[in-house]
Structures are given as C-alpha cells and as structure tokens.
Chain A
Amino acid sequence: MEEEYGTIRIPKSLKLKLLEYIKDTDFKSIDEYIVFVLEEVMKDENEEIYSEEDEIKVKERLKALGYLG
C-alpha cells in the first residue's frame, strides 16, 4: 500500500538552501531529502530500548522518592 503524505511548511530561505544542497546528490527532491534526514534523526535519537532491569531499578527509586506511595 502506498504511503500517504502530508504538507509541512518550512521557511523559504531554508528551502532554497536545501535545493542548493541536494543538487549534486541522488535525492530527487527536497521532500525526499527531508524525509531521509528526519528518519535518520529519529533512528539515532531514540536508541534507548526498554529493559525490565531498568524498569525495576526506576520503580524502586520512585518508591524511595515518594512517588509510588
């Protein structure tokens, strides 16, 4: 199934910079470039994964701090 797309507004000055930036790359449009960058950012920045050990540790700490009384 084809992905649905929405519209995002960016400053015109940034758009011009991006057009310049991608002109010698494989990106066919700045939309494609922005999607790539955002996906990369989300990948890098949400690197922490859930672990039961962490959960137990934090639960104990929150108890000690009075949050779970």
Chain B
Amino acid sequence: MIIVLAIDALEYNLVIEFNCNNLKQKFYGKTNITEFSEPRTMVLWSSFMSGRNMENEIISKGDKEMWNTQINLGDTFFKSFKNPKIIDLPGFNYYKEQHKMERIMLKKYFDTQNETEKKEIKIEYNNHAFEHHRKVKREFIEALNGPYDFVLGYFSIADVIGHLNFGNRTMMKMIYRDLDEIASGIKGNFIVLSDHGMEKVGIFGDHSNYGFWSTGFKDLDNPKITDFADIIKEIKEGRTWKKNMEQ
C-alpha cells in the first residue's frame, strides 16, 4: 500500500518549530510551486493528481465554479492503482457542502463590522472545521486497514483554522500535534505533502509560496507538486524517481 498524507497549508517552518518528527520523517523539504501565479488550493491539488499545471483551466472557471472541479479518475495518476481510496481531495471527491460552508462563514466573518458577530462566526467556523477533521481522521485510519493499494487522506484543518487563527500559536500547535499523531499511526512508507504553507498576518494566515514534502525513503530535493504523479507511479513500480533536470 502506498499512502499519501495530504495536508492543506502545512507550513514547513512550523513542522520544524513544533518538532513534528513524524510529519518530518527522514527526508523533508519545500516544494517548488513558483510556476503558479498564486498558491490556490484547487489549482495545486488538481495539478498534483493530474501531473500537469492546470492553473489556466481551473482559473478560467471563475471563483465560484472553480470549487466544483471534479477530475475523472482516468485523468489522474490514481488510475494506475487497482483499488485506490481517496478521501476528501479538492478537485476529485471532496465534501463540497462542508467546504462551501467554510467559505460562506469566512465571507460572513469578513463582511460583518460587528465585533460580537465576528467572534460568534469564528467560534462556529472553528467548530465546524474541527468536527470535519475528526470525521476525516476516522475515515483515514479506517482506510489504512482496508483492502486498498493506495490511500490518500486530505486534511484541511491547518488551512481552514489557519486563515482566522494563525497568530494563535497554542491552537496551531495543537493542530500540528494532532497531524503528527496521525502520521505516527501510519505503518510503512508514506509521503506527506502540502499544497502550500502559511504565513502570519497578525492573528490571520495567508498562503505562502512553497509547500512541504517528506518521505522516509528518498530525498526528493525541491520537487514540483506536478512531479508527485511520476514519483508515486515509480514507487509503485519499484523504480527510483529521478528528477528531469531539463524541466
């Protein structure tokens, strides 16, 4: 079984600072996403699974329709597996209503000028995200014991909570500790991958222009997010991935 722990907005510097050794594994580093004009979640995960830069296609859909992107299995590297299990991945099979509600609450938070209302929305927003996180965590742990040859679990908590709470170190530390605990429960080789990281803007968080990767078996240097389709296919076939330096 090949396992990918896909974590939205997992920040390289916090993984180091909070000593998340299970997320770090033996080899770790930053991904190179400079080919993209902005670190957009839907663009990056779609490009990851298709193995090609999908920025223009996704952006041309517009801000609303972009979130409804659903790439067919045949257009992803998942097709090279007999029985893949993908959990909540943007651009493939994510829980649309859940993530739509997050964006609605985020908009409400920024639209209101009322401080009390802001506080209430933030509490509701955080609770909504934590509840979903627990659900995905259960599903992921269950899948690790299932009849699959590939498991990908997508965790959005660091991104969703980070946007309104990145300046709250206690809360972020708690989230990173939980993600590290999830990684500690994975047996065998796995890849940790984030689409982008996060940088602090006061109490808030904005996407940073690099992602995070780690493996226990190979130094990937400074890979592009689109390299992972080949990396994973080659791990499956027992070959060693070599970066094409001419790319």
Complex contact A66–B110 (CB within 8 A):
no
Q: How many B residues have CB within 8 A of the partner chain?
A: 28
Q: A68 on the interface (CB 8 Å rule)?
A: yes
Which of chain B's residues has its CB closest to A57's CB? B201
Residues of A contacting B30 with CB < 8 Å? none
Complex contact A68–B106 (CB within 8 A):
yes
Q: B163 on the interface (CB 8 Å rule)?
A: yes
Interface residues of A in 16-50 (CB under 8 A from B): 41-42, 45-50
Give how many A-B residue pairs fall within 8 Å (CB-CB).
Answer: 71
Please judge, given known A-B contacts A55-B110, A67-B106, whether A48 and B200 are in contact too, CB under 8 Å.
Answer: yes
Q: Could you say which interface size class chain A belongs to? A: 20 to 34
Q: B120 on the interface (CB 8 Å rule)?
A: no
Please judge, given known A-B contacts A49-B202, A58-B204, whether A69 and B106 are in contact too, CB under 8 Å.
Answer: no
Residues of A contacting B170 with CB < 8 Å? 41-42, 45-46
Chain A contact residues, CB within 8 Å of chain B = 41-42, 45-51, 53-55, 57-59, 61-62, 64-69
Chain B contact residues, CB within 8 Å of chain A = 38-42, 62-64, 66-67, 103, 106-107, 110, 163, 167-170, 173, 200-207
List 9 A-B pairs, minimum CB-CB distance, nearest first: A69-B63, A48-B167, A54-B202, A45-B169, A58-B204, A66-B63, A59-B110, A45-B170, A48-B203
* Interchain Cβ contacts under 8 Å between A and B, 21 examples: A47-B167, A48-B203, A49-B202, A50-B203, A54-B201, A57-B206, A58-B110, A58-B201, A58-B205, A58-B206, A59-B110, A62-B110, A62-B163, A65-B40, A65-B41, A66-B40, A66-B42, A67-B163, A68-B103, A68-B106, A69-B63
